[in-house]
Amino acid sequence: MKLSRVSAVVTVAATIFALTACSGGSGTDNKTLTILSNTQNGTPTGDVQAKVIAAFEKSTGATVKLTQAGDTIPGVYETSLAGGKEADVVMVNLAENTNNWVKEGAAIPASKYLDSWGLTDKIKPEALDAWKDAKGDVQGFPYSGFVWPVWYNMDLLNKAGIQAPPTSTDELLADVSKLKAAGIPPLVIGGVDWSGQKLFLQIAQMYMTPDETTTVYSKGGYCASPNAMKGINLFTELRDAGLFLKGSEGYTSDQMNAAFYDGKAAIMSAGSWAFGDAPAALQANVKLGGFPIPDGGSYDKPTAFQGYTGGGFWVSPNGAKADKIDLVQKFITAWYAPAVAASWAQASNAPTAVIDSGSGAPIANLITAAAVNDLPKAVDFAVMPDTVVPGTLSDAMIRQTSVAFAPGTNAQAICSGLDSLYAK
Amino acid sequence: MAIKSLPDVVVATPQRKSRENRVKPALLGLSLPAILWYLAFTIGPLFAIFYIALLDWPGFIAPSSFVGLKNFQTMFADPVFWQAARNSLVQLAVVLPIMLPVSFMVGYYVSLKPRGHRILRVILFTPALISLAARSIVFLSIFSPTGMLNGLLRGVGLDSLATPWLASQSTALGTVMAVDLWSGIGFTAILFSARLSSIPEEVMEAAELDGAGQWRRMWGIAYPICHDYFGVLLMLQFIWMFFASAGSILLLTNGGPGNSSTTLSFLVYNKAFRESQIGYSQAVGVILFAVGIAGMVLIRRAFRPKY
Amino acid sequence: MANARNSRSNRINPLAHAFVWFYALLLVIPIYFMLVSSFKENTAIFNSPFALPTSLSLDNFVNAWDWAALGTGLVNSVLVTGIAEIITLALAIPAAYAIARSGGRIGGIVEKFFGAGLLIPGFAALVPTVILAIGIHLFHTREFLYLFFPATVLPLSIILLTQFMRAIPAELEESAMIDGASRLRVLISIYIPLTVAGIATISILNFLTFWNEYLFALILAGPDPEVRTAQVALPNLVSQTNTQYGVLLAGGLLTMIPVYVVYMILNRRLEDALLQGAVKN
């Protein structure tokens, strides 16, 4: 009786396996292309992605398997690579872990294909530069850009008697007093996450040249660099003067956006991805600019970030194989058509890395329009930390910079906390 | 009826043991599938942890090299490791002594079948039903600077107490522990009530006739009967908190600010998946395992019924 | 019975009532938050988190279903959870019985053996498990989860079930065996019915563990929508920059509904078992 019971269970199990066995894994026939993307469904850019995929399937007769994994893409991709089952093409930004992919052989450098696919002339040179690694290879195909300005709610500033956004830190300090007198919190930031980290690093580099910044941010040595210490002291001075909305050190970037959209603070530093969500009523009131600069600092105009590392295409070892590479080429080059680039630029409210991506259509979103038309003249662009901070440190660094936003943390504690990250 | 054969239940088990020391083939056969499964999927990986701890392995796709005990040396010299150890210890020392007795009492309450106990059962099990991701969003909103807790405090005029709970070095760990308590008490109470409900009615009736109130019955009678089970649940919560707290910490505070809410289990996850130091991560895993065994032995010692 | 309940020493301290129901309130609040938020947009969620929604549109739910392909995800979750549940019970029940009845040293050793499994630091075991999955060619498949999930809960299930089985008097078994019943028959006709409370308890626990498992399902089964479980599908509603929390929470609620249903069913079983006093002749 026992035996027959066991065999019954085994039979059932085997049947179940057999029934459900046809599933999973990336397609092995050469008519399927597997994409791993961090662009989600249901967003404007997700809609563009869906259209491109549909058009591609129609014109090539191939099937596209789209998988998404948000910000767990590095973990998912790397483990699937270990199992030989990685996607053919990955669509993700150049930041953190992806900085190591070409070095580790997890991706084939785009420079191998740029010329033969005729894309070199279609991509902005500064974008190609941004995607180069230490050896000079372009790691992935640059695609998405971003700008990251400081947003000023002129309505609230006017209420406090301020007529124009501050351009120097002296003006900023004066404005902070006026805003506090009017009961308006000056600046809100997501102290807890990457948005706080970027703002901190933006202020910390105010006295350093781009080269110095690159050295310190990639190798450490904050306490030992006099100019870095000047920047950190500037940060603590601004913080202690009441620049940040109370509790900012506990805010995430989503909460920062929500607070600013709701008129709860006069200033925020946020990237172009937030342009689309800004309420229509607010758009007319917002002026874009940079972060005010100190006297004797290394920049001439208020600073903001911009870059072309916001998104791009990576070719995996699977994708580079002879039976897939043609499909991969067709898929990637499809994105660089002017019409596609234009629709992506519009959906993402930011410039793309594609040279010919303007259709000349008027931009509906007032903030995006300001970013395209007015911002470049008004600001200098600072060193974007994501391109120089080592990928494996960024997570720990975000935890350290969040400490910096807490009132009472002194500059020495901040710099030694940062230095300890690079010590290993 | 059923009740007549019950009085033996309470003391039956220990006296049987001396007669059953021989191995019975049928019994062994019954447990064999489980043992094999376990060996393949649990013991195997366990040994792998020890081996990987001896490697320098900077990321899944990078090559690994044998470095002997170097990871352990680095670990013992790393202040973050010691802070994580401290945090883990604090977490256990504060949460367990609160959670277990409170769960026991709530479980006892439920087993008395007071009015509304059916609804209560469903509510108490709720934390277990919510997935980690959903739970963390909820608590992020409750503890955020403009969230519910601060809103409540301001509403009753306790403005000065309103801090960013998850983002302040002095309160981050405490907040994580509060969430641990929130999720653990409810369903541990249900587990207790399952056991408590199988205590025979007449034992309790006898106590009632003696005039013992609920409190005395709970701790004087029910507790000794469930002594062993209490130890098992204590052990389970110890293990869950010590090993599995990484998930909720990841979603609530990401170990920060600084390292103030990093525990040893979070360190294992972080080192492997965020900082790409797999060998080091497994070395911490080895320590986790060793301390876990020590803890388990201690608890078993304290709660073993004496034969 | 009714009289006994009202007697003096049976009275429950009002403080106890207050405390337990206060805690219950604390448990309900997050559910309430999830419910109202699933009908709102981000700004409303952050700025007035506990206010009632202004409209009851189902947009968030529809979007969550579409964007994360929750339909397929739920099917996969049901398959993985169901099959793993069956395998776990098939392994744990006989083993618990064996340990409970073995007593002495052998029983103690086997119990400790399983107890050691509880000490495997979960996240640490992820790395070797991936290697194992690759090695047996089941990486990125649901089938691996069918096999692997039971192993993760075996120690707990066996230990808890053993507790319940130990509470059953050996005389019942002995008299049945004297009548000629085999061990297996004893297990099936005596022990299982008497430990329904324990079996239902671990069934619920394991169901929850399997259903809510995220990290292992993500890494081992992968992100392919055909294979991924509902929990892995859900975070695809989270964006680095513009998460729509209303949709995310709506999706979360959708993945919780099956759990509630199963819990209601199993809970009834559990309650019935407990109400019968757990021991029959």
Q: What is the mean pLDDT of residues A155-161?
A: 93
What span, in angstroms and rounded, lies between the C-alpha atoms of B233 and B96? 10
Q: Classify residue A16: in a domain, yes or no.
A: no
**Which one of A77, A104, A316 would you mutate to disrupt binding with B, by most B Cβ within 10 Å of its Cβ?**
A104
Can you tell me whether residue A123 is helix, strand or coil?
A: strand
- Statement to judge: residues A170 and A295 lie in one domain: yes
A374 and A288 within one domain: yes
Percent of chain B exceeding pLDDT 70 equals 90
Residue A219 lies in a domain: yes
Least confident of A315-324, A399-408, B128-137: B128-137
Name the strand (E) or helix (H) holding A32: strand A32-37
Which two three-digit tokens encode residue B147?
A: 């969230």
Q: Which domain holds residue B273?
A: 27-114+188-303
Q: Are A138 and A48 contained in the same domain?
A: yes
**CA dihedral over A71, A74, A77, A80, signed as positive or negative:** negative
Is A159 in the same domain as A139?
Answer: no
Ramachandran quadrant class, B258 (left: phi over 0; alpha: psi -120 to 50; beta: rest): left
Chain mean pLDDT for chain C: 80
Are C214 and C133 found together in one domain? Answer: yes
Q: Which pair of structure tokens corresponds to residue A351?
A: 């410039």
Q: Is C154 part of the contact surface with chain A (CB cutoff 8 Å)? A: no
**C-beta neighbour count of B135 within 10 angstroms:** 23
| Same domain as A168, residue A129 | no
Domain-located, residue A2:
no
CB atoms within 10 A of CB B203: 17
Instruction: Answer yes or no: do C18 and C75 share one domain.
Output: no
Given a cut of 60, is residue B7 above it in pLDDT?
A: no
Is C243 in the same domain as C266? yes
- Domain co-membership, A284 together with A232: yes
- Domain match, C51 and C63 both: no
**C1 in a domain, yes or no?**
no
Residue A356 covered by a domain = no
Tell me, yes or no, whether A290 and A396 share the same domain. yes
* Domain-located, residue C4: no
Q: Are residues A284 and A316 in the same domain?
A: no
Distance to chain C for B92, nearest Cα, Å: 15
Based on the fold, state whether residues C47 and C63 are members of the same structural domain: no
Residues C79 and C203 grouped into a single domain: yes
- Residue B167 falls within a domain, yes or no? no
State the nearest Cα–Cα gap between C175 and chain B, in angstroms. 13
Q: Domain span at residue C27?
A: 12-56
Tally of domains within chain A: 2
Q: What pLDDT score was predicted for residue A64? A: 92
The CATH number of the domain where C259 resides is what? 1.10.3720.10
For residue A93, is it within any domain? yes
**Which one of C109, C111, C123, C206 would you mutate to disrupt binding with B, by most B Cβ within 10 Å of its Cβ?**
C123
Q: How far is A39 from chain C (nearest CA, A)?
A: 8
Residue B207 inside a domain? The answer is yes
Residues A303 and A320 in one domain: no
Query: Do A294 and A315 fall within a single domain?
Result: no
- Same-domain pairing of C29 and C98: no
Interface check for B206 against chain C (CB to CB < 8 A): the answer is: no
Mean pLDDT of A122-149: 89
Determine the 3-state secondary structure of C104 from DSSP. Answer: helix
Domain identity same for A298 and A153:
yes
Structure tokens at B292: 């876990």
Choice among A328-342, A365-379, B236-250, B277-291 with the minimum mean pLDDT = B236-250
CA A335 to CA A321: how far, in whole Å?
Answer: 21
Asked if pLDDT for residue C278 goes beyond 60, the answer is no
For A250-292, what is each residue's pLDDT tens digit? Answer: 888 888 888 898 888 999 999 988 888 888 888 889 999 999 9
Query: Is the complex ipTM higher than 0.85?
Result: no
Tell me: do C76 and C110 sit in the same domain: yes
Residues of C in contact with A318 (CB under 8 A): none
Same domain membership, residue C65 and residue C50: no
Any chains having at least 3 CB pairs less than 8 A from chain C are A, B
- For A409, the closest chain B residue by CA position comes to B169
Nearest to C140 among A2, A69, A85 (CB): A85
Higher-confidence position of C49 and C224: C224
Which pLDDT does position A19 carry in this prediction?
41
As a whole number of angstroms, the distance between CA A405 and CA A414 comes to 10
Q: What is the mean pLDDT of residues B24-28?
A: 68
Summary mean pLDDT of chain A: 86
Q: What is the pLDDT at residue A20?
A: 40
Which residues in chain A have their CB less than 8 angstroms from residue C140's CB?
Answer: 24-25, 80, 83, 85
Does C231 map to a domain?
A: yes
Is residue C7 in a domain? no
* Residue labelled with tokens 């001896």: B54
Whether A246 maps to a domain, the answer reads yes
CATH number at residue B276: 1.10.3720.10
Contact A104, A347 (CB under 8 A): no
- Report the gap between the CA of B131 and the closest CA in chain C (Å): 5
C window 57-86, beta carbon within 8 A of A: 63, 66-68, 79, 83
Q: Domain check: are C130 and C190 in the same one? A: yes
A7 has pLDDT over 60: no
B96 is a domain residue: yes
Please report, for chain B, how many H helices and E strands are present, in that order. Answer: 15, 2
Within 10 A of A129 (CB to CB), how many other CB atoms are there? 12
Position C1 scores a pLDDT of 41
Q: What is the CATH number of the domain that holds A98?
A: 3.40.190.10
Rg for chain C, CA atoms, rounded: 23
For A161-192, letters b (16+ CB in 10 Å) and e give ebeebbbebeebbebbeebeeeebbbbbbbbb
- Residue C67 in any domain: the answer is yes
DSSP A16: H
How many domains are contained in chain C? 2
Which residues lie closer than 8 Å to A332 by C-beta, 6 or more apart? A89, A117, A119, A141, A313, A315
- CA dihedral sign of residues B290, B293, B295, B298: negative
Q: How many CB pairs under 8 A join A and B?
A: 94
Which two structure tokens, joined as six digits, stand for C200?
A: 């239902």
Whether residue C31 sits in one domain with residue C117 = no
Q: How far apart are CA B48 and CA C150, in angstroms?
A: 20
One domain, residues C97 and C126: yes
The predicted model scores a pTM of 0.76
User: For position C279, what pLDDT does the model report?
Assistant: 42
Q: Is there a domain that residue C256 lies in?
A: yes
**Which of A100, A255, A400 comes nearest B258 by C-beta?**
A400
- The per-residue pLDDT for range A170-192, each reduced to its tens digit, is 999 999 999 999 999 999 999 88
| Total of domains in chain B | 1
pLDDT surpasses 70 at B2: no
Q: What distance in Å separates the CA atoms of residue A292 and residue A98, rounded to the nearest whole number?
A: 32
> Which amino acid belongs to residue B190?
I
A285 and A198, same structural domain? yes
The reply to whether residue A250 touches residue B274, judged by beta carbons under 8 angstroms, is no
Contact B236 C90 (CB under 8 A): no
Structural domain including A288 reads 148-307+365-422
B276, part of any domain: yes
Q: Are A140 and A314 in contact (CB under 8 A)?
A: yes
Q: Which residue of B30, B125, B212 is in closest CB contact with C9?
A: B212
In-domain check, residue B247: yes
